[in-house]
Amino acid sequence: MENLLANSSEPRTQPVALHGAVLRLTDIEKVYQTKTIETVALNRVNLTINRGEFVSIMGPSGCGKSTLLSLMGLLDEPTSGVIEVDGRAVTSFSDRELAGLRNLKIGFVFQSYHLINDLSVVDNVEVPLLYRPGMGSKERRKRAVDALDKVGLSARTGHFPSQLSGGQRQRVAIARALAGGPEIILADEPTGNLDSVMGEEIMGLLLDLNRQEGVTVVMVTHDEHQALKTERVIRFFDGSQVG
């Protein structure tokens, strides 16, 4: 098993593949409506994420970055507009179909890791595989251990999240995102809770995943320095794409 961390400080290789759009957002609007206030979170966003790209999304707080990531991750529905995954519009998909698509195609990495404290590291990594129909426990365990091996945590399988550092927790979260073999990883400020050394380590891991394994990565970040390492930076302001 190839350990991605072993290469993290070496020169980046070229992306594995770049073939067509894996995610396309067309005329997306997201409006949050309360009894008294209507808040436009996203305003006519048109965005295409190509297969194998590493894209970072930047903008000030409240500009709609996380909303955009939720829409891309099929966790939320746009008020209007069309989201396509692999060329298929998901507008009419049922909750079950959307869940299945998320499980197969998308891996998530969050700023606050979102590990389940009552589960061991390997059990946390197995979580997405629990929702994959027909996958047995042995296969789940093998995939989880492989994913942990990739992020350099194969020695920590039996540990619990509380026994890990922030950087290790985020690596577990990345292993969890990888375990299902997703085409896209959506990372919401993955280095936001980490110090600069740990941040660099996690960023290196994501870059390696993108370049060596061809995983498409969309990362929301406030960190200009990290964003500049990615192939494309998309900037948002007040719900609109500005660059």
* Binding-site ranges for other proteins (CB under 8 A): 66-67, 70, 73, 75-76, 95-96, 99-100, 102-104, 106, 108, 110, 112, 114, 116, 118-119, 123, 126-128, 130-132, 137, 176, 180
Smallest distance, other proteins to C-beta of residue 96, A? 5
* Cα 66 from chain centre: 11
Smallest distance, other proteins to C-beta of residue 224, A? 23
Euclidean distance between the first and final Cα of the chain, in Å?
39
**Of residues 26 and 103, the one with the C-beta less far from other proteins:** 103
Smallest distance, other proteins to C-beta of residue 166, A? 15
Smallest distance, other proteins to C-beta of residue 102, A? 5
CB atoms within 10 A of CB 222: 14
Strand partners of residue 43? none
Q: How far is Cα 234 from Cα 92, in angstroms, rounded to an integer?
A: 28
**Of residues 150 and 211, the one with the C-beta less far from other proteins:** 150
Structural element, H or E, at residue 100:
helix 95-105
**Of residues 70 and 168, the one with the C-beta less far from other proteins:** 70
CB atoms within 10 A of CB 100: 15
Smallest distance, other proteins to C-beta of residue 225, A? 25
DSSP state of 62: T
Q: How far is Cα 196 from Cα 202, in angstroms, rounded to an integer?
A: 10
**Of residues 21 and 104, the one with the C-beta less far from other proteins:** 104
**Of residues 171 and 211, the one with the C-beta less far from other proteins:** 171
The position carrying tokens 């997405």 is 128
